[in-house]
Amino acid sequence: MRIARQALVDLRAHARAELPNECCGLLVGDAGEIVRAVRARNQRASPTRYLVDPEDHFGAIRAARREGLAVVGAYHSHPSGPPVPSVRDRAEAHDRSYVYVIVSLAGTGDTRGFRFNGTEFEPVELEVAE
């Protein structure tokens, strides 16, 4: 999956801005590319959980549709853990069509993508597009 460099920069900045809590947001694009990261409010305001504010989610859907795009995924941060789905992430995942992006603020600050197959998360390579 291609991801615009600016989308990656934006979601990483969002993760740093929300410390010590997890950030969350939506990914806008099409089947092959994420063109924009849209910040959402985390209704959990927690360092270990997130819940995308429904108003922000629907706003992102409407804005994307006006541009002929769609919400193709979601992102969140792990402030002190690795960029891999947690047990809670697995329990709360629901959309097989989404790309789930996790940014870690621990260690090297890696960002990784995944798809949920209904049971487990499978890695998705994020190719940075200029």
Catalytic positions are 22
Tell me how many helices (H) and strands (E) the chain has. 3, 8
Alpha carbons 89 and 101: distance in angstroms, whole number: 11
Taking residue 79's Cβ as centre, other Cβ atoms within 10 Å add up to 19
Alpha carbons 51 and 4: distance in angstroms, whole number: 24
Query: In the numeric block, which tokens belong to residue 65?
Result: 């549709």
Closest CA to 80 of 104, 111, 115: 104
- Contact between residue 77 and residue 44 where contact means Cβ atoms under 8 Å apart: no
